[in-house]
Structure 1
């Protein structure tokens, strides 16, 4: 018991976890997820190829059940789940994943639609011819062999790989702390780059890229972005765009259809077709009539049929942008180099392959040399024995047994142990005269081979020649034309909104408390009188707009809410619509002050904004351009300095604005008038400049006026006054102004609102009780500046006037007047 206790160690959990996870990570990196830079294979792939080759399951023999190969790999080399081994085996047979498949398979080996392969008990597999190039010379001590997991057999640490498989077939994998993404390349191009590197050590990347133009995906497609390719090949990390190969065809009835003949690498075709069909069903694009997957044994084909007179290029751009018809491919070329994971550029990968191949040829040549020298030694012994045949026979006949005969031959004639073994094992028919001739010609051939092998080993140029010749043979046998097209620039996708939004005229309404809606003109005409607003709510904006227009709503707290018209909820005109707070939070006492429609944010338009605490500014429309978060977040169009301050009014200014002076009115009855030019144009987050010298007063409202205009004014006591603008002379900004009401000692009048009198318009006065009192300015005389006007609204029964708006007069009233 005491002995057991002495074995217990107290260690910190951090140290234990760090150490154990570090070891596990090292194992995962080296033994599972990342390919070796020399043969481009992960351990499971290497073991599958080696086991099938060892088992004689090669391209020139019959197919064998996949289950047999998987069991063989699992039992001898790879002690993991059969499903992971089978998945690796299947992937190596898929010609839409590998540029040069290493396995040939009979049966269902999956599809580009990501259908699962048939179970391994149904499929049959064998090595492809190209895979045997990976295994060539493995029996000639060209690679290091190590014991398997139970020390019963030897397996290779790397395959001889007689073509640059890492670049040709690419790799993808995620490990602990590392990931790799190497695209497939064209075998002919990569071999050309390797041949150039053998002949010209340390070549420039630009020179290598003359051979390796870029990836060559088995699914074809178009690769865009030479700069991204250069960066990837220089550093191992870079981004390109891969897009589908498409064409537009004319079909019956003046219609067009887009034919997709190649899709980006590793894109699931079935999901792609489903996504495009969803876009059609949801009408995110107006113009797709039907989508059909017409792929068959002759190749991939997706037909996107369009409606009549539709912009095919615009729809295609939308699909490129919003589906996997175009994807970004991110290079991350990480491989195991000298037992360590390393991000490598094109030059480093090719150099590592060249160094490895020189090593393979050196080891193979040494093996062949030793074999030739051993055979020459035996042949020399046999020639010598035949020249003294009678004595040799006599010596053998006089010996007791085979062992004695060998010893006697060594003693009597100076043969070596191996030569004596060969002589005593000789069959009698070999003792003919012709056999000597054969042996002599074999000796000559062996001597020639030994000279050749020594020349290769002693002369690096000869070794390079051998390597180059063998690579040329591989290229001649397996190279195929390039499938992927390479384009220099990434095309910027501009999607015209007319493609994504059906263009139509609609009626739009915004209410003061924050309800907004759009309705078809038909719905509006059917129920124009019922606007669906709740009691006490008022219309701020009502106008016929196009679905391609924009709407900006400005609140009294300085917040700007933006909506494209097509995104406003469509309802019947008599419904209330959606409340803006469903998407954007507003304060309890926040109201929509003004709303404006916008065709284009680059229009030469600005807004005049004034606050209750005496600030004023102009801000350009282009500063109101929406950001990406407009759906969830309001933007700021003016910074309010005081907590209780609010925006009193916003006026739109265009280059055609004729009213060039501002008239501000305060609650206590002061008016100030000055030129518009005195207000500077600043950004949306600025507070502006001082509009008026308030002295414990506040701004009630402002209007834009000319000298010949008249204004209407309503007070808190229900008094209405009409006066000439010319009564207030133009001065300058930030002054106190002049009195526009007579100050009373008892119950003085306070300005509720002012408005410009327009011909053919009436005033709609809203009260604190939610009632409306109409005033027709034509019926009232002009008052002097110091007058308090006439009492029109009964404050006791109707409530205190809050605001005053213009409304059109009925034609009948106008005619009478």
Structure 2
């Protein structure tokens, strides 16, 4: 027995490449992209043709949508009913299509994104303008091909009596291709088509005198004529679509922003929700209420404002941070000659004109053939009436219809068609009046034949017919333009002070990453005591600020976190703060090192000094820290894997830097020896380290500093005069400030400058701590190891030094 299996020895990659290639070709040609000629995707074309074929027209009653969906699936489109119904619903949505092609009774969805009712509930029929896409399809104007099961025929393209691709636009994604063609005004598109017919070489600028730009179904304001021109030239371009907003006076002398048109494809319910979130999160001060007052008379969103609110600033913020304004990117890709092609405006118009020439030529040939056939029959009928008695006698003498026809053909030279018409003639038509009607019909047919032959023999006449048809469509269906076009894209500038209520607050940050914004009233009610935080946590930053400032946090991985204070939650002094990871996601092993508050980035002349454990230092201008997007950690300094940031602080141009290492070396040098670098730079060498040594602390030394405070891991502390340490240069080793011991040598934990009212808390690994007031310590020399303040045998080694102001010590 011979096996019927056929085995191929082909590499898998070739098989996959071939199969995916076939699939891609199908998706591109037969599903996702519109045809340049009628502007329809296959499923849309099949829906419209099926409704037309079944007589579901605009002058007939509505029919159940389910019936149409069933016909489309059964006859032309063997896919899921959901996909067909969704496509059918979209053709009926007047906020998606500029000129709807399907009229639907019942719930066909909404601009809020509500789903349509099931197809068993809704009813539909073709719209009047959709019939123009199908007009004369029965006159052999377009090519028909067998359907998927060879039981009937379907059109490859519709006759399309207007340029639907531009009028209704298209959007779709396929394998390797996407398309985004906006809708346009019917009258403008027809004017542009006529201009292109009259002047084959007209320029984009010429065309733009009649077709000014897109015209979206939801209206709105389009900004960016240059983007439109570029799109019409190349098929790609960018514009801005802005909602139409005006101001109205409302009760109590207040005002409200009234939105009456929104950008195309924007979900209104989501837009209203987003604007209300802006109000709830207090990202903008001045909005009291947001409500949707849309009804059957039109779209209307009301944003009520406070009396003293800055209307323009609030509106600009909403334009920039919500879908009240969106960018739109043209990507005019369509199927042309069965190939996806990026098309310019002239190319789309030319493709349509070529299609119309073919349609009108085919229609004229069909009408000419029919007219000639009828003229031939009329000629035979007139001849028969002129010899009526003989004809009647011949027919009466015949045995049957076939015999009668044969005798008429043989005796009077009638043709088969004429003989058929004569024998089928009804008796009542054998009157004197009928010959007159036949003579008139013959004259009309002669005139019609002459006209049709002129159309077929003259391209000028052919184009004239196309123009006449287009003008009729424009006169019948063109309405007013909905979108307004503005030449320039307006740059939105937001001054934070204009949109945020300026309130005094107190900002705090803890070592475990809890941040808090507190009102002065809450702080005063607690008298600055009983600060809410986890046990074992400690405060590392506290400062009075305002809601218009920005909190910058620096982490051990060299990142910084950007946190506008007006976006922080208002939390009571006694309550625990919000963990930074709940605001900006940071890694588990990423610790908060320090914080600073910036009032004005542009005018700030200071720098951030970064210092790593391996002695790398870097200066970056504070102005570079300003960003627009801050939902994730931002790179402050590029750090190698075996390194970590240990310090980030604000320095001026005249300050000095104090670095201290575990082995007891300190280095003092001018901060301007460190060149200013960008955020992603890795820095330069700050101190020359011995093997196994590392930097434990860094500090900024201002001109007013006279003393420094030192502590070792054995809980020994000392105070030294700053001038004990010689000023050196960046990249050197520095001076030793602790004496080496053979047994249990001291290791530095930190060296810090002593400013007015500074106190230090010394924390051991077991949690024991001692407060040290440096004012009560005598000065020590460079080779002293200081005085012990704690028994580390019991408490464990010293882990941390914390510097406080005396008034913060709670």
Which category of TM-score, normalised to the shorter sequence, fits these structures?
Answer: 0.7 to 0.9
CA displacement at 1:604 relative to structure 2: 0.8
Task: Tell whether 2:250 aligns with 1:254.
Answer: no
CA distance in 2 between partners of 1:59 and 1:407 (Å): 47
CA deviation map 1:656-694 (0-9, x unaligned) = x6xx66777888888877666555545564544556898
Q: How does 1:286-325 map to 2 (within 5 A)?
A: 286-325=285-324
Report the CA distance between 1:731 and its aligned residue. Answer: 7.4
Give the match for residue 214 of structure 2. 215
Match of 1:132 in 2: 131
- Structure 1 residue 478 displacement after superposition: 1.0
Decide whether aligned partners of structure 1 residues 389 and 316 sit closer, same or farther in structure 2, where only a CA change above 3 A counts: same
Change (3 A) 1:412 1:292: same
Any residues of structure 2 matched to 1:679-758 within 5 Å, and which? 680-683=675-678, 685-688=681-684, 704=701, 710-711=706-707
Alignment partner, residue 109 of structure 1: 108
Q: Deviations over 1:20-48 (max 9, x none)?
A: 66555555544444433222233443344
Q: Residues 482-521 of structure 1: matches in 2 within 5 Å? A: 482-498=481-497, 503-511=502-510, 515-521=514-520
Call closer, same or farther: CA 1:672–1:29 in 2, change over 3 Å. Answer: closer
Structure 2 contact 664–738 (Cα < 8 Å) conserved: yes
CA distance in 2, matches of 1:743, 1:73: 92
Counterpart in the other structure of 2:607: 606
Q: Taking structure 2 as the reference length, what is the TM-score of the superposition?
A: 0.83
Q: Tell me, in whole angstroms, the C-alpha distance in 2 between the residues paired with 1:73 and 1:693.
A: 79
Aligned equivalents of 1:306, 1:37: Cα separation in 2: 48
Provide the C-alpha distance between the structure 2 equivalents of 1:744 and 1:73, rounded to a whole number of angstroms.
93
Give the whole-Å Cα distance in 1 for the aligned partners of 2:269 and 2:552.
Answer: 41
Deviations 1:622-676 (A, max 9, x none): 3444695674466328x689x68975x7664446x6xx66777888888877666
Aligned counterparts, 1:451-530, within 5 A: 451-498=450-497, 503-511=502-510, 515-527=514-526, 528-530=528-530
**Which moves more between the two structures, 522-531 or 471-480?**
522-531
CA contact (8 A) 2:559 2:633 kept: no
Tell me, what secondary structure is at the counterpart of 2:481?
coil
1:266 counterpart = 2:265: yes
More moved, 147-156 vs 324-333: 147-156
| Per-residue Cα deviation, 1:262-292 (whole angstroms, up to 9, x for no partner) | 1222333233333333444444444332222
Q: Does 1:772 align with 2:773?
A: no
* Between 697-706 and 305-314, the greater mean CA deviation after superposition: 697-706
Deviation at 1:458, TM superposition (A): 0.9
1:308-362: CA deviations, max 9, x gaps?
Answer: 3223333333333343333333433333333344343322221121111111111
TM-score (norm 1): 0.82
Aligned-partner Cα distance in 2 for 1:456–1:734: 91
Structure 2 CA distance for aligned equivalents of residues 747 and 68 of structure 1: 92
CA distance in 2, matches of 1:20, 1:750: 69
Distance 1:471 1:608, change over 3 A: closer
Shift of 1:112: 2.6
Report the counterpart of residue 165 of structure 2 in structure 1.
166
Distance 2:358 2:428 in 1: 43
2:709/2:754 contact within 8 Å kept: no
Q: Return closer, same or farther for 1:194/1:644 CA change in 2, 3 Å cut-off.
A: closer
Q: 1:279 to 1:595 in 2, by over 3 A?
A: closer
Q: Given the superposition, is the C-alpha separation of residues 384 and 326 from structure 1 closer, same or farther in structure 2, using an over 3 Å criterion?
A: same
d(CA) in 2 for partners of 1:121, 1:718: 83
Question: Which residue pairs with 1:541 in the alignment?
Answer: 541
Q: How far apart are residue 188 of structure 1 and its match?
A: 0.6
Shift of 1:497: 3.9
Following superposition, the deviation at residue 193 of structure 1 comes to 1.2
Q: Is the 8 A contact 1:709 1:724 kept in 2?
A: no
Kindly indicate whether residue 586 of structure 2 is the aligned counterpart of residue 584 of structure 1: yes
CA distance in structure 2 between the partners assigned to 1:136 and 1:145 by the alignment: 15
Distance 1:736 1:75 in 2: 86
Report if aligned partners of 2:607, 2:650 keep a CA contact under 8 Å in 1: yes
- Distance in 2 separating the partners of 1:645 and 1:218: 56
| Alpha-carbon offset, residue 806 of structure 1 | 7.0
After TM superposition, the structure 1 = structure 2 runs for residues 344-743 of structure 1, keeping only pairs within 5 Å, are 344-389=343-388, 391-392=390-391, 395-396=394-395, 400-427=399-426, 430-433=429-432, 435-498=434-497, 503-511=502-510, 515-527=514-526, 528-532=528-532, 539-554=539-554, 560=560, 562-566=562-566, 571-575=571-575, 577=577, 583-585=585-587, 592=593, 594-602=594-602, 603-607=604-608, 618-625=619-626, 628=629, 631-632=632-633, 635-636=636-637, 652-654=650-652, 680-683=675-678, 685-688=681-684, 704=701, 710-711=706-707
SS where residue 353 of structure 2 aligns?
Answer: helix
When residues 745 and 786 of structure 1 are mapped into structure 2, their CA distance, relative to the original with a 3 A threshold, is farther
**2:657–2:698 CA contact under 8 A, matched in 1:** no
Which segment drifts farther, 256-265 or 737-746? 737-746
Q: Distance in 2 between matches of 1:675 and 1:194?
A: 73
Structure 2: distance between partners of 1:762 and 1:698: 26
Classify 1:188/1:753 alpha carbon distance in 2 versus 1 (closer, same or farther; 3 Å). Answer: closer
Unaligned runs of 5+ in 2: none
CA deviations 1:793-812 (Å, max 9, x no partner) are: 576899998888776679xx
Q: State the distance in 1 between where 2:786 and 2:295 align.
A: 87
Structure 1 partner of 2:232: 233
Pairing of 1:115-154 with structure 2 (within 5 A): 115-149=114-148, 151-154=150-153
